[in-house]
Homo-oligomer: A and B are copies of this chain.
Amino acid sequence: MRVGIIGLGLIGGSMAIDLKRKGFADEIVGVESEPVNASAAEKIGLVDRVVGFDECIRQCDLIMLAVPVGAAVRLLPQVLDAFDVPDGENRVVVDVCSTKEHLARSVKYHPRRRQYVATHPMAGTEYSGPWAAMPGLFDGHACIICDTEESDPKAVRTVESLYATLNMRTIYMNSASHDVHTAYVSHISHVTSFALALTVLDKEKDEKHIFDLASGGFSSTVRLAKSSSDMWTPILSQNRDNVLHVMDTYIEKMQAFRKAIEEGDEDAVRGLIEEANKIRRIIR
């Protein structure tokens, strides 16, 4: 199969490595709008060829949109439009975006909607660009596949086989439910990490102190604050309502902590910590 990957960053690049290495794709064709990243992706050897958008869609059996969600909303209808050719119904387009409902809505009534499969492979690092791509990035992680009833079962099977190749666990839900869940287990962690970085950078003007004193605990909590604004601005914007709702709950919990500490109520502080400790059951 010839696979076209649009967007050769961390996710697209890591997909390219493993889909070729594990034999899912005979050839990987890449599209990358940023010239420096395009040259790097070719030089690193992530893809067999870098081509233009139209050429990629014309030539490939499976198109993967691995761009930030703002760009995906623009590009997905263009890919489906381009499938309006005699052999278009044998092609599949799959996206890997972290928010799903907005994207789903954008092609809901597209005549080629059934050639599209909405997915979210839940793996990544805080780094971005083709330089960040790595083999095995997806191995053992969960991949959410959304709204399968809106897609051609054959297209769904192709995409399932792609994720099986990457050794991902597949989970099924509709896109609205996806966006609620990811607000809780992914988007809020990024916001809390950004806020933590802002707090420390604001208060601790002496960067050497941050560097010297940062323990492993601080580094792991603030790690996601390195995440790219190109990726996260549109996620927070497109999942606005869910993210705001979770942020409100989060701020309430902070206020409860603040009150217990301010009042010197050690029993209440202990109670909150012990409640939080229940996360041990769940996250190893």
- Count of this chain's copies in the oligomeric assembly: 2
Residues of B within 8 A of A73 (CB): none
Residues facing B in A183-209 (CB within 8 A) are 184-186, 188-204, 207, 209
Per-residue interface assignment for chain A, residues 242 to 274, with 1 indicating a CB less than 8 Å from any chain B CB and 0 otherwise: 011011111101111110011010100110111
Which B residue sits closest to A141, measured CB to CB? B215
A280 at the B interface (CB under 8 A): yes
The answer to whether A236 has its CB under 8 Å from any CB of chain B is yes
Bound state CA distance, A281 and B214, in angstroms?
13
Tell me which residues across on chain B come within 8 A of A220, comparing CB atoms. 220-221, 223-224
In this assembly, does A131 line the interface, its C-beta being within 8 Å of a C-beta of chain B? no
A279 at the interface (CB under 8 A from B): yes
Give CA–CA (A247, B199) in the complex, Å.
9
| A226 interface residue per 8 A CB criterion | yes
Interface residues of A (CB under 8 A from B): 122-126, 141-142, 144, 169, 171, 181-182, 184-186, 188-204, 207, 209-229, 232-234, 236-237, 240, 243-244, 246-251, 253-258, 261-262, 264, 266, 269-270, 272-283
Q: Considering the complex of A and B, which 5 residue pairs feature the smallest CB-CB distances, nearest first?
A: A229-B273, A189-B221, A197-B276, A194-B276, A197-B279
